[in-house]
Amino acid sequence: MKRSLGSGRKAFTLVELLVVIAIIGILIGMLLPAVQAVREAARRTSCLNNVKQQMLAMHSFESAREHFPSAWNGFGDVAGYSNDRGEFLSPWQQRFGNFFGWQAFILPQLEQNNLYDTLDLTRGWSQADVGLQAGVAPSAQRLPGYRCPSDVVDDEGHTKYSGDSGELNGRSSYVMCIGALSHGKRNNSELPELWGVGWQDSKTTFGSMSDGTSNILVIGERDNVKMSSSGDHGALWIGRQGWRRQAVSGQGPESATDFGNAPNGTNAGWNIASSQHAGGATIGLGDASVHFLSDNVNLDVMKRLCAAADGEVTGAFR
């Protein structure tokens, strides 16, 4: 009698099936890190491109205005400046206003003219009086070009400061370098040789960048994840909020032992360079070149990069 079709085939045993599944699991386990590495490499490349576009926009701004954008506008000590409720403020009160920042100033150079036209740069910004359609204010806009793909936070790209009444503001992953010194010393006009490119109402020119544009750090990446976990607040593309100038700027190490201001250091609230990338953070130099600043960079070299006119030669940092 003939055997039925397939009756001579040998089936898999349970042990053989488990072995095959185990082998497939091992292969997937070996493949996943490689896939994740490729994805992170793509995110890092995107981050570098973001900084490149912003540096080119700064150069275009400089060509039109003959100076780089200031880190934020504070209207100096002009008497009569009004806040967002139309109330006139004293020079002391002006220090705590919501002022537009450098990323707002370069919106036209990044083909964001429609958004830029909604901003009234003659006064401070707020969620209350600069609304768009459906009540969405300019400060709440999410701009992908201002966000590093690796900089992911649980509020989907928005941040809220303690003084807000519930409003969310669009985050940024990048800040402008004020120099290699503390906020207080720069505010008191101390150590001008360590000043950076951007500050309140600064109008830095190429001529004043005497160390050479290829030796001066202008833009640094900011890690919002680290800032959120430390109780600080992330950067805002629209500008400074209240007294918190870390929303638009960051500082470098004042000394060669200031480990808190190293890339990915502990000083997340004021640092010029930190990121979710492994091993360093993205920076942009005055010549519009972009680089990945290593966590292992010599802090004295980093200090020289952040100072625009200290007369010191910058060592290798790449």
Number of domains in the chain: 1
Tell whether 317 is covered by a domain.
no
pLDDT digit string (tens) for 244-278? 788 899 999 988 888 888 888 887 778 899 888 88
295 pLDDT above the threshold of 50? yes
22 pLDDT above the threshold of 90? no
The pLDDT, as a whole number, for residue 231 is 58
Across all residues in the chain, what is the average pLDDT? 79
DSSP characters over 210-277: TT-GGG-EEEEE--HHHHHHTT---EESSEEBTTBGGGTEEE--SSTT-GGGSTT-S-TTTBS---SS
Tell whether 316 is covered by a domain.
no
Tell whether 187 is covered by a domain.
yes
Tell whether 4 is covered by a domain.
no
The pLDDT, as a whole number, for residue 125 is 76
Q: Give 32: exposed, middle or buried? Use CB within 10 Å, 0-12, 13-18, 19+.
A: exposed
- In our burial notation (b when 16+ CB lie closer than 10 A, e otherwise), range 91-100 reads eeebbbbbbb
Give the containing element (helix H, strand E) for 100. strand 99-100
Amino acid letter at 140? Answer: A
Q: Give 278: exposed, middle or buried? Use CB within 10 Å, 0-12, 13-18, 19+.
A: exposed
The pLDDT, as a whole number, for residue 78 is 45
For residues 10 and 295, give the distance between their C-alpha atoms in angstroms, rounded to a whole number.
58
For residues 218 and 212, give the distance between their C-alpha atoms in angstroms, rounded to a whole number.
12
Tell whether 1 is covered by a domain.
no
The pLDDT, as a whole number, for residue 34 is 62
Tell whether 298 is covered by a domain.
yes
Contact 281, 292 (CB under 8 A): yes
Contact 314, 215 (CB under 8 A): yes
Contact 258, 183 (CB under 8 A): no
Tell whether 202 is covered by a domain.
yes
Structural domain for 257, as ranges: 16-306
For residues 177 and 306, give the distance between their C-alpha atoms in angstroms, rounded to a whole number.
7
The pLDDT, as a whole number, for residue 129 is 47
pLDDT digit string (tens) for 164-210? 555 678 889 999 999 998 767 777 778 888 889 998 888 999 999 98
The pLDDT, as a whole number, for residue 219 is 96
